[in-house]
Amino acid sequence: MDDKSGADEKRRAAFSRRGFFSSLAAGATEAALVGAAIDTKAHAGGMEAIEGESVKVVLHVNGQPHTVLAEPRWTLLHVLRDQLGFTGTKQGCERGECGACTVLIDGLARNACMTLAVEADGKQITTVEGLMNGEELGPVQQAFLEEDAYQCGYCTSGQMVNAEGLLRKTPDPTIEQIRQGMSGNLCRCGAYGHIFRAIHRAAVLKKAGR
């Protein structure tokens, strides 16, 4: 083979290799784009399906029944605040660590952010608004006021609801029982001493029929 023929053969081989890899890259890019489009469409379709799906839920909040259409993924916190307007239940960490969203479900303290609305269907729910005696403060609320058991106030509604649940279960708690019972409610202002005194005071007020 002469030099010219050898050079031509090398050019054809190089071109073939370049063409092959260029075609391969273009094909991979196109496949990725098509795949992304399919994934996006599927994701959007899935979201539409989730958002469009709803079930009827009856929540008995503070003694009153409320019927709502809720998506299965909605939390009780979202429904209480954004659908029913019970904004005393605060949105805090949204992962069950701070206790700001505490409500009572059938008398037991639960984190509304970690409870699905459908789980509470047909159950009795008490929020901080339900601690009132008509237009007057309930005993736990009154005790928190008297003992100055708050500073910024953001955690206070959850603290009071959990305290109510504790006193329903243990009407005359010891300081250790209060510490244990309130351990799931955080106060970043550090007003724990006032909170514990308020719970003792609330126990007294409840015994007196307040």
CATH number at residue 93: 3.10.20.30
Averaged confidence pLDDT in the chain: 84
CB atoms inside a 10 Å sphere around CB 198: 27
Are 34 and 75 within one domain?
no
Are 45 and 112 within one domain?
no
Domain end marker among 101, 127, 153: 127
Contact 144, 156 (CB under 8 A): yes
Are 187 and 153 within one domain?
yes
Q: Is the pLDDT of residue 126 over 60?
A: yes
Question: pLDDT band at 16, cuts 50/70/90?
Answer: low
Question: pLDDT band at 41, cuts 50/70/90?
Answer: very low
Are 48 and 58 within one domain?
no
| Per-residue pLDDT at 190 | 96
Are 24 and 63 within one domain?
no
Are 73 and 113 within one domain?
yes
Are 179 and 152 within one domain?
yes
Q: Which residues contact 128 (CB under 8 A, 6 or more apart)?
A: 88, 89, 141, 157, 158, 160, 161
pTM of the complete model beyond 0.85: no
CB atoms inside a 10 Å sphere around CB 76: 28
CATH of the domain at 158: 1.10.150.120
Are 42 and 68 within one domain?
no
Contact 128, 160 (CB under 8 A): yes
Strand order in the sheet with 124-126: 64-70, 55-61, 124-126, 102-105, 108-111
Extract the tokens encoding 109: 């303290």
Distance CA 186, CA 111 (A): 13
Q: Helix crossing, 156-169 with 139-146: angle to 10°?
A: 120
Distance CA 77, CA 90 (A): 8
Domain end marker among 36, 52, 68: 52
| Per-residue pLDDT at 131 | 97
Strands (E), the chain: 55-61, 64-70, 102-105, 108-111, 124-126
First-to-final CA distance of the chain: 111
Extract the tokens encoding 75: 């939390």
pLDDT tens digits, residue range 58-108? 999 999 999 999 999 999 999 999 999 999 999 999 999 999 999 999 999
Are 38 and 62 within one domain?
no
Domain end marker among 127, 156, 189: 127
Please give the residue range of the domain that contains residue 73.
Answer: 54-127
How many separate domains does the chain show? 3
Question: pLDDT band at 12, cuts 50/70/90?
Answer: low
Are 206 and 136 within one domain?
yes
